[in-house]
A and B are shown apart, each in its own frame.
Chain A
Amino acid sequence: MKVKRLLITLIILGSLLVAPTDSTMAAGDELSGTIKEDGSTSVLPLAEAFALRFMKLHPRVRVIYGGGGSGTGAKDCAKGQVDIGATSRELKISEADLISYPIARDGVAIIVHKDNPVDELSLGEVARVYAGEITNWEEVGGKSGKIRLYSREEGSGTRDVFESKVMKEKDISGRAYFKKSNGEIQTAVARDPGSIGYVSLGYIEGTKALSIEGVKCTVESCKKGDYPLVRRLYFHTKGTPDEPVKAFIDFCRSEEGQKIVEQLDYIPLTL
């Protein structure tokens, strides 16, 4: 009895070992292997949807995505720990030896609590709020109450975009609450009536996305280019990718891949 069970276990283990796990073993028409990705949490929902669809098309390929933020994506990719590093910002000069592939565009939404009467802010107002120059909702047409800022830690791709497009020369106030991911900001803002935060467009559920400069924050306005806070999302590889990584990136950038982009409320690459 025991021997039999041991034998079965060994067979299962053996077949796991024999199963092709290396991308170089791909042969013939069928792609196989494992693709490891990590990086930006703004890309996370999209990367997961890409992976699911791609694995359905090519059952012998496994795609694994981990979060960690844009910095992690670029770092792990440069070290060869992952096949694809995802960022929600362009590469920095220190990371420039990677090859970048834009895979989608994404809006950065300024979000507040659902019950907050404020619907609209100008870019300048958002900057002054985050710099700590405007500290009460009354000053921007809301109910009297302290504004509580929620920000990402330095190094976040979403924060990079927010700083370059909104804050410009100003610094984000040190009195803000700092969080590590889009999801944490979304949760905090959804539960705090005095809050304001900034997240990837895919994370606005349960909160209210403010109109910026009079333009509503929707997929349509981002697509048309009216909404001012739009950035590109990237996959990066170290050197020219082999199969199946190349096929995966091509798939993401194909028409079919860009359909997934639209379904998930990101913005497709081509206008």
Chain B
Amino acid sequence: MMPRYLVDKISRKAVLLCALASFFILVLIVVFIFRDGMAGFIENGIGAFLFGTDWSLKRGEYGVGVMILGSISVTLGTIIIAAPLSITCAIFLAEIAPPEVREVVRPAIDLLVGIPSVVYGLMGMVWLVPLIRDHFGGGGYSLLAAIVVLTIMVLPTIISLSEDSLRSVPRHYKESALALGATDWQAIWRVLLPAARPGIVSAIILGMGRVIGESMACYMVIGNAFAFPSSVLDPSRTLTSNIVGQVEEAAYGSSHMHALFACGIVLLVFIFIFNSVSFTMGRREG
């Protein structure tokens, strides 16, 4: 029989090891992306890489200006549609829905999170793209198609996180409001929502992180043109769809591959910004 404190000691070490392992994996990923990606920045010049609009293997010029703009417009477009929809849905689930309804809807929404993104992309390609082409014009593969697909994808994430933060508001906040004579809606709008705001904002920003990082579904519907879109019906290209589209043809160690890794760095910076904003927002008030 092992002494109990020894078991304690060993299990503590084992848990520490696991925690360190995932941290080291993160460090390794960052190191490797930067090792190849920095070469991409240096070969092209940081300014030319970030703001250049020409991406051509033939001329050996790599600029991601179009793609950064594409990524930003897809992300903003998606959040503008997804945020109000999902917050309303979260309010419904947390405050208005009868328990029986919630018991069906909430697991369904959680299930939606797990559907692989290619499936969303495929549905977008087969149903949505022809629909947009026939009813709105253009080629169908467009910013709009990407925004719709990504909205559907990101809704469940924002809904479940917002609902959790609405539920974590202490009950007596709302009860006090009601006791002071507020209607149900006034209590939700003026008391509950402001109290849950940090959580909801961080849910939205995490959602933005998911949108900007989504690659496959986006690649399948956005059209991938190397040009600034002049309307939502024009095709565009994001940082992720650029990597998806070209990585198979890039020779390892070539400046093409370095440029693709540099796209990865730009994405990493975006995600880092989103996560830190979401982290600080979530912490405020507490």
Contacts and interface: CB of A to CB of B under 8 A. Distances in A.
Given A68-B248, A153-B246, A155-B57, A194 B227 contact: no
A146 B180 CA distance: 63
B52 interface: no
Interface string B106-117: 000000000000
Interface residues of B, number: 27
Interface stretch (A28-36, A169-177, A203-211): A169-177
Given A154-B56, A154-B58, A171-B56, A177 B141 contact: yes
B139 interface: yes
A175 B225 contact: yes
Given A155-B57, A174-B226, A71 B139 contact: no
Given A177-B235, A192-B140, A70 B249 contact: yes
B227 A175 contact: yes
A148 B139 contact: yes
A179 interface: yes
B282 interface: no
A72 B231 CA distance: 35
B222 to A, nearest CB: 9
A68 B244 CA distance: 12
B250 interface: yes
B77 interface: no
A95 B252 CA distance: 12
Interface in A153-169: 153-156, 163
13 contacts: A68-B248, A71-B248, A71-B251, A95-B251, A154-B249, A155-B246, A171-B56, A176-B225, A177-B223, A177-B224, A178-B224, A178-B225, A192-B133
Interface of A: 68-72, 74-75, 79, 94-95, 148, 153-156, 163, 171, 173-180, 188, 191-192, 194-195
